[in-house]
C-alpha cells in the first residue's frame, strides 16, 4: 500500500520525523507531501523544506520506501493522483483530533476509498509543532531537542 504524509513542515520537527519513521514501517511506499497553501506564510520555501526533509531523512538513515514531493490543491486529490490509498496524520492533543477529524471526514466525502490513519504523538513530542520551534528560534532559544541536527543551524540562521 502507498500512503502520503501531508503537511507544511515549516520546518520539519523531530515529531514529524518520528511519524515518518513509524508510518514507513507499515506501508510499501510513503510520500512525505509538502503541501503549498497560498494562504499560509512560511519561513522556508517549499524547495527549502523539501531539501531539509531529505537531509533529515539521510541523517537518520531513512527507509528506502520514503520520498518527498511538493504538492498543492486538495490533499485528497493529490493523494489520489499519486496512487495513495492512505493519508497519514499525527495527533498531539484533543484540539488536533477535532481538526483532523473534520479534515478526514471532508476527505471521505471527496474520495471514500482513501483512508486516514492517525498516529498518536509520543509523549516527548506531544507539545511540539513547527510554530513552537519558530517562536523559540526567533527568540534565540535552544531548539536542538526539537529539530533534527541536520537542520538546526539552518532554522536558527533564518532569525
CA 51 to chain centre: 14
Determine, yes or no, domain membership for 159. no
Angstrom distance (rounded) from CA 23 to CA 28: 10
Angstrom distance (rounded) from CA 144 to CA 114: 36
Identified catalytic residue from 23, 49, 62, 130 = 130
Determine, yes or no, domain membership for 46. yes
Rg (CA), the chain: 15
Mean pLDDT (whole number) for 11-33? 96
Identified catalytic residue from 40, 140, 145, 157 = 40
What does the CA dihedral 63, 88, 15, 129 come to, rounded to 10 degrees? Answer: 140
Determine, yes or no, domain membership for 94. yes
Determine, yes or no, domain membership for 39. yes
Angstrom distance (rounded) from CA 91 to CA 51: 25
Identified catalytic residue from 50, 80, 92, 122 = 92
pLDDT at 46 over 80: yes
Predicted local confidence at residue 72, as pLDDT: 93
Determine, yes or no, domain membership for 130. yes
Predicted local confidence at residue 28, as pLDDT: 96
pTM, entire model: 0.93
| Domain carrying residue 115 | 2-150
Determine, yes or no, domain membership for 125. yes
Do residues 37 and 57 lie in contact, with contact meaning Cβ atoms separated by under 8 Å? Answer: no
DSSP state of 49: H
Least confident of 15-24, 60-69, 131-140: 60-69
- pLDDT tens column, 78-88: 999 999 999 99
Determine, yes or no, domain membership for 34. yes
Angstrom distance (rounded) from CA 78 to CA 74: 6
The reply to whether 130 belongs to the active site is yes
CATH of the domain at 32: 3.40.50.620
Do residues 76 and 107 lie in contact, with contact meaning Cβ atoms separated by under 8 Å? Answer: yes
Predicted local confidence at residue 132, as pLDDT: 96
Identified catalytic residue from 16, 49, 89, 134 = 16
The reply to whether 16 belongs to the active site is yes
Determine, yes or no, domain membership for 158. no
- pLDDT tens column, 94-126: 888 999 999 999 999 999 999 999 999 999 999
Give me the number of domains the chain comprises.
1
Amino acid at each position: 500500500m502507498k500512503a502520503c504524509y501531508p503537511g507544511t513542515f515549516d520546518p520539519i520537527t523531530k515529531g514529524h520525523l518520528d511519524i515518518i519513521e513509524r508510518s514507513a514501517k507499515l506501508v510499501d511506499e510513503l510520500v512525505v507531501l509538502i503541501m503549498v497553501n497560498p494562504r499560509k506564510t512560511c519561513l522556508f520555501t517549499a524547495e527549502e523544506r523539501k531539501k531539509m526533509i531529505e537531509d533529515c531523512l539521510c541523517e537518520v538513515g531513512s527507509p528506502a520506501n520514503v520520498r518527498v514531493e511538493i504538492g498543492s490543491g486538495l490533499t485528497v486529490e493529490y493523494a489520489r493522483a499519486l496512487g495513495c490509498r492512505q493519508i497519514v496524520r499525527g495527533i498531539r492533543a484533543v484540539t488536533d483530533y477535532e481538526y483532523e477529524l473534520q479534515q478526514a471526514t471532508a476527505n471521505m466525502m471527496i474520495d471514500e476509498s482513501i483512508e486516514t490513519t492517525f498516529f498518536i504523538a509520543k509523549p516527548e513530542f506531544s507539545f511540539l509543532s513547527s510554530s513552537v520551534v519558530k517562536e523559540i528560534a526567533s527568540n534565540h532559544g535552544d531548539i536542538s531537542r526539537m529539530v533534527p541536527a541536520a537542520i538546526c543551524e539552518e532554522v536558527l540562521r533564518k532569525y
